[in-house]
Amino acid sequence: MDTRSTALLLLNLLHLFPHISAREFLSPGSSLSVEDSSDVLRSPDGAFTCGFNHISQTASVFSIWYSNTAEKTVVWSANHLHPVYFRGSRVTLDADGRLAVEDYDGRPVWANNVTSSSKAKQAQLLDTGNLAVKGQGDIILWQSFHSPTDTLLPCQNITSATKLVSSSRLLVPGRYSFRFDDEHILTLFDDEKDISFKYWPNPSNDIWTKNRNAFNTTTIGVLDSSGYFLGSDDLSFKAVDWGHGVTRRLKLDYDGNLRLYSLNKTDGRWLVTWMAYPQTCSVRGLCGINGICVYTPKPACACAPGHEVINPSDRSQGCIPTFNLSCDGQEIFLKLPTTDFHGNDLSEHVRVSRYECKKICLKDCNCKGFAYWQGTGRCYPKWSLVGGVTGSAVSGGSIYLKIPKTLRVRESSIPHSQPFGPRYVPNCSAKSENFTPDFGDQPKSSQSGSQSQYLYLSYGFLLAIFCVEVIFVALGCWFLFGMEGKQLIGVWPAEVGYEMVTNHFRRYTYKELQTATQKFKDRIGCGASGLVYKGVLKDKRAVAVKRLADINQGEEEFQHELSVIGRIYHMNLVRVWGFCSDGPHRILVLEYVENGSLDKILFGSERLLRWSERFKISLGVARGLAYLHHECLEWVIHCDIKPENILLDNNLEPKISDFGLAKLVNRSGSNKNVSRIHGTRGYIAPEWVSSQPITSKVDVYSFGVVLLELLMGARVSDWASNAGEEVEMVFGRVVRMLTANVMLQGSQHLWLFDFIDLRLNGQFDRLQARTMVNLAISCLEEDSRKRPTMENLVQMLVSVDEASGVMQ
Ligand SMILES: *[C@@H]1O[C@H](CO)[C@@H](O)[C@H](O)[C@H]1NC(C)=O
Ligand SMILES: *[C@@H]1O[C@H](CO)[C@@H](O)[C@H](O)[C@H]1NC(C)=O
Ligand SMILES: *[C@@H]1O[C@H](CO)[C@@H](O)[C@H](O)[C@H]1NC(C)=O
Ligand SMILES: *[C@@H]1O[C@H](CO)[C@@H](O)[C@H](O)[C@H]1NC(C)=O
Ligand SMILES: *[C@@H]1O[C@H](CO)[C@@H](O)[C@H](O)[C@H]1NC(C)=O
Ligand SMILES: *[C@@H]1O[C@H](CO)[C@@H](O)[C@H](O)[C@H]1NC(C)=O
């Protein structure tokens, strides 16, 4: 007993030790050493740590990382180009404020650039994650925020003097950078040897389509603490979970995509909450020259038919042809359907036939193939094939690849995107030649090529020293090659963003769903779009399985729509996990939401929704709709917002269900021109009955009705049946009454007490209630143009959410 508790105590002490010894300051003349993993600087709130980060068994980099994440997340590195040896290296602050990283032999590999010549007082890691060297009077002599690597932290400015540079999985600086261009616009660049290409925002768009403001010489951009980024060029975006109190970082990932991450404090993992390219394959040049990015459904690189990969460990180097074009006019063209290569056009032609386009390309020896748009007759002969992508992101065009007549190409080597998983797995026997799933995610220990050469070179000198002691040589070599396989796995998770959006989205067979729902036994709902059953998948996830009625579209269209819906992810929208399209069956597999729909709680008697809960629900629904209307990949109108379609999770956080179904169930035109009346009486906007165009404002109207119902705790259509009137007439009356009341400034809020759900006994926030009434009135405007947008509504609700938070 005694020995056990002593052991426990010792263990605890050992565990505490690093925390006790972590330093708050580094004074001039002192240093941090590489050997002692507790010799680190910690920010006062403990969120960040700064010290030597062991990137392998023998190599370390002076870095800053988050103290409390599941996987070590580095936000800044000093000497990632020159890692130091794991023994004897150190970082020292001298009296002039010079912070220098020295290798085991005293050779400096990195030093900061102190401009002012004041005496240094200390180096300190601030709560923001900024490593600052301070002089007398706390003036900052140098700070890491001014020389970012690949990560921008909240409150850290990006200016014309700074940029983010991606780093590859092995910490070698990558080709992508995020910085201001010469028009002072924040841009993603692909920096090749001699030339930089811009790839985001889409360089072929003009400045208005880009929604940016050129030539503002202020050149600053900053991510604020609520997850909102604003740049001087009007670049703005925000995290889907925006709000205070969340740990965030903006990172230019190795694949050239800029992603915003939020930390889940429960499990210490990062979630992607915004990204520049929702589709990874759209990043220019990801698969290199003659390479084509395909969705399998994970993004992967394939070579154009007749080409072979140059370096399997770095797909971005692309592919080389296995043939020589003789340019004798005898070449043939191979069609790559729904595929495109970016730019590099020799010329541009419109309204020409495919035959003419072919002739143009045949005549020109530089022409490697052409892009052709059936229908519009657009023709683009290409002199180089880069940035290839195939799949639904390509709208309508195909590539015709110029190849010698004698070349035999197998059908299976033509890349196709397969966003829907197992059923469409490519022919595996053909895979080894032309098709490499993934980008070679984990560096494998057997890998040769440039990356291991790089490591070999940087550590060659170490080997020389240890040659004296044979055993160390053996160990050293083992470490050097062993580390690639061991240490670095997981440091560079593959395709984080893409996985987050689609990882579980897949196709299910009818049989799987029959098993999951025990032959559709437990019915939990029944709506206009179909019956809903509860089910449990093989991985123990509870799901709601919705059998869609009335789907009269072909399998391909259905899948296309679903590929859009499946990518929509927002905490206030019910997650779509997958679908089944088997024979006559069209079934959706949805996230199961515990508390059922809002109508059951709001209009039922089991449980009274408190004011704060009602407010939270209205804000959540507004956020979900704003996301659908303004931020997701394709413009989606819900068309049937009502309490039945608002589900509540354990914390009463609302989740909108059935979005995207209006388009699925009825496809008689473009989405802006939905012809049949959708929605439910009492919630539908007047434009459904008049002949005005249907826009996202129909959802704003329905949201207004839901707001009124949340305020009153009663269903609108019930007032009508009680009064024996038509719903629409009752509405008009209520809105007029409210408008008049809101005008009454003097008598304050007395009327509110009659209007708000009596069951609340006056327990509500006056300001929030008034704002909600005002918003409901504006949502219910007859003229759809006068209604606010969902974004406006979110802003208004947020403003009173925060205001009252301060008052109470
Ligand atoms: C140090 O800063 C000066 C002035 O800002 C600049 O000219 C110089 O290139 C910098 N040196 C390094 C090594 O970054
Ligand atoms: C960021 O820019 C703002 C406004 O120019 C400035 O007040 C602030 O000090 C800057 N922050 C850092 C860390 O440089
Ligand atoms: C330039 O950007 C700054 C910082 O975002 C902003 O305050 C200013 O209004 C902008 N100027 C113009 C002319 O848009
Ligand atoms: C955070 O992690 C916990 C535990 O894994 C999980 O239950 C929860 O859903 C996560 N939260 C979010 C927002 O993903
Ligand atoms: C193409 O031509 C080059 C030089 O003319 C030759 O070295 C190469 O082997 C040829 N490649 C093929 C696949 O014929
Ligand atoms: C797969 O490819 C092999 C050889 O490339 C071919 O013989 C076979 O028929 C293909 N199978 C299917 C299902 O396409």
pLDDT digits (tens, 9 = 90+) for 485-501: 222 221 222 233 333 33
Tell me the per-residue pLDDT of 267-300, one tens digit each, with 9 for 90 and over. Answer: 888 888 888 876 667 666 678 889 888 876 567 7
pLDDT for res 505: 67
Residue with the bigger pLDDT between 364 and 740: it is 364
213 ligand 3 Cβ < 6 A: yes
Atom of ligand 3 nearest to the CA of 231: 5
Domains in the chain: ranges and CATH: 17-147 (2.90.10.10), 150-278 (2.90.10.10), 309-435 (3.50.4.10), 498-592 (3.30.200.20), 600-807 (1.10.510.10)
pLDDT for res 143: 94
324 ligand 5 Cβ < 6 A: yes
The closest alpha carbon to 92, from 29, 155, 49, 45, belongs to: 29
Catalytic residue flag (residue 640): yes
pLDDT for res 667: 33
Average pLDDT over residues 159-169: 87
Marked catalytic residue, from 39, 253, 255, 640? 640
The total of other beta-carbon atoms located within 10 Å of residue 641's CB is 28
User: Which residue has a Cα nearest atom 8 of ligand 1?
Assistant: 113
User: Per mean pLDDT, which of 161-165, 316-320, 386-390, 447-451 is the most reliable?
Assistant: 161-165
How does strand 307-309 pair with strand 120-125? unpaired
How does strand 576-582 pair with strand 506-507? parallel
21 ligand 5 Cβ < 6 A: no
Ligand with minimal distance to 156 CA: 2
45: helix, strand or coil:
coil
266 ligand 4 Cβ < 6 A: yes
| pLDDT at position 554 over 80 | no
d(CA 322, CA 568): 41
Q: What percent of the chain has pLDDT over 90?
A: 27
162 ligand 1 Cβ < 6 A: no
pTM here?
0.51
Tell me the per-residue pLDDT of 573-605, one tens digit each, with 9 for 90 and over. Answer: 888 888 887 777 888 888 899 888 999 999 988
Residue by residue, DSSP assigns 180-214 as E-TTS-EEEEEE-SS-EEEEES-TTS-HHHHT--T
> How many Cα atoms are found within 13 Å in the side-chain-facing hemisphere of 486?
11
Residue with tokens 């870095």: 63
Bridge partners (DSSP) of residue 390 are: 339
Measure 69 CA to ligand 3 centroid, in angstroms.
36
pLDDT band at 100 (very low <50, low <70, confident <90, very high): very high
Please give the annotated binding residues for ATP, written as ranges: 546
d(CA 335, CA 767): 63
Average pLDDT over residues 448-470: 30
Atom of ligand 5 nearest to the CA of 323: 13
**Residues in contact with 36: Cβ distance below 8 Å, sequence separation at least 6, in sequence order:** none
